[in-house]
Amino acid sequence: MKKILAFMFAAVVLVSCGSAYRMTQAEREALAADVAWSVDNQDMIIDITAIYPFRGPMIMTAREYSIIIHDGIIRTRLPFFGESRTSVIYGVDDSSIVLEDAPMEDFIVDRSRAERKGQYDIYFQARRKQTIYHFSISVFDNGSADIRVTSPSKTPMHYTGELYFEPVKP
């Protein structure tokens, strides 16, 4: 009886894995075109899906964090789990990485892996008061993103996310 139940459970798992949604070739090409447009126009919203502190376990998020890049400006509030090398006054400032309409400096897009791997590497820095944050964002044709944030005053942080495309209103 146990063997039959185990076999039935395995069959259900295999069937459910095989019936997952898969994008058609046309949908993949349309998504890749949307990603390329977003990178070329410096206009993107990245919803953070996971946080990887320098030390410690991965933390999944419910997409409550995002990075908004638009017209040479970055707006974000990212959680920070790590060591801060500057003093923090509690109640006045927190340890999060907060940038409100901060201009991006030294914006570079490396397209050398775009044709072969479908990957765009974006590098820039942004300031908040006296702190400079260095961003390294890899955006892929499938809409996923890999974000690394470094700063002289904090330990490095790593995030993953997905590009969010706002629906076009008729």
What's the pLDDT score for residue 169? 41
Helix (H) or strand (E) holding 16: helix 2-18
Residue 17 burial (CB < 10 Å; 0-12/13-18/19+)? exposed
Match domain 2-164 to its CATH number in 3.40.50.620, 1.10.10.410, 2.30.140.10, 2.40.128.410. 2.40.128.410
Q: What is the token pair recorded at 36?
A: 């390329």
- Nearest-angstrom CA–CA distance, 18 and 12: 10
3-state secondary structure 120-138: EEEEEEEEECCEEEEEEEE
* Cα 17–chain centre separation: 26
- CB 45: neighbour CB atoms within 10 A? 17
* Cα 107–chain centre separation: 17
What's the pLDDT score for residue 2? 62
Domain ranges of the chain: 2-164
Task: Name the nearest CA neighbour of 62 among 75, 40, 79.
Answer: 79
pLDDT block averages, 10 residues each, the chain of length 170: 58 53 82 87 90 83 86 87 63 68 89 82 89 92 92 86 69
Residue 161 burial (CB < 10 Å; 0-12/13-18/19+)? buried
- CB 128: neighbour CB atoms within 10 A? 14
